[in-house]
Structure 1
Amino acid sequence: MSGSPIKARLIAEIPVERVDFASGEGAAWPVIGDIVELDQGFTGPNGQPMGMVVCFNDDRSVRWAADVLDSEIELLS
């Protein structure tokens, strides 16, 4: 079954070591308020719930991707 991707808002700064990909100039790094799409969830090294998220440009090219704690994003309805 295919559906719309789950979206969330970034509500905390992401440590640079958890950013997997960033393109463009400095504005392409994660910024609080960025809207992201959830890719997959997993359990972090300390047992905390985490997920991989992707932020897209308007043309749907990847702006950045990162591993985030569940507490660093706010799900959008």
Structure 2
Amino acid sequence: MPKKATLLKNIPSDRARYISGSKNTFPQLGDTVQLDQGFTDKNGKAMVLAYKIDSAGNLEWEIEVYECELSPEI
């Protein structure tokens, strides 16, 4: 089962990419996201590629999230 976490902060739009569904469902504080690959930004800070998924399991948004912007895995 894919790992998930909750967003602890709103993510700036320059770190989000719309995939499908409603563009009005931009990822927000409190949303549950599915975690994918970890990486580091240009300054060496830990980040995670994550996806906001709708109730049917479809990918809506791809977001680049700093680890400190995520809750512990749920």
Q: Structure 2 length as normaliser, TM-score?
A: 0.89
Q: Percent identity?
A: 32
Partner of 2:42: 45
C-alpha RMSD over aligned residues: 1.3
Unaligned segments of structure 1, at least 5 residues = none
2:56 corresponds, among 21, 34, 59, to 59
Partner of 1:29: 26
Structure with the bigger percentage of strand: 1
Regions of 4+ moved over 4 Å: none
Are 2:11 and 1:14 equivalent residues in the alignment?
yes
Q: Structure 1 length as normaliser, TM-score?
A: 0.86
- Which of the two has higher C-alpha Rg? 1
Separation in structure 2 between the aligned mates of residue 10 and residue 41 of structure 1, nearest angstrom:
16
Unaligned segments of structure 2, at least 5 residues = none
Number of positions where the alignment pairs a residue of Structure 1 with one of Structure 2? 73
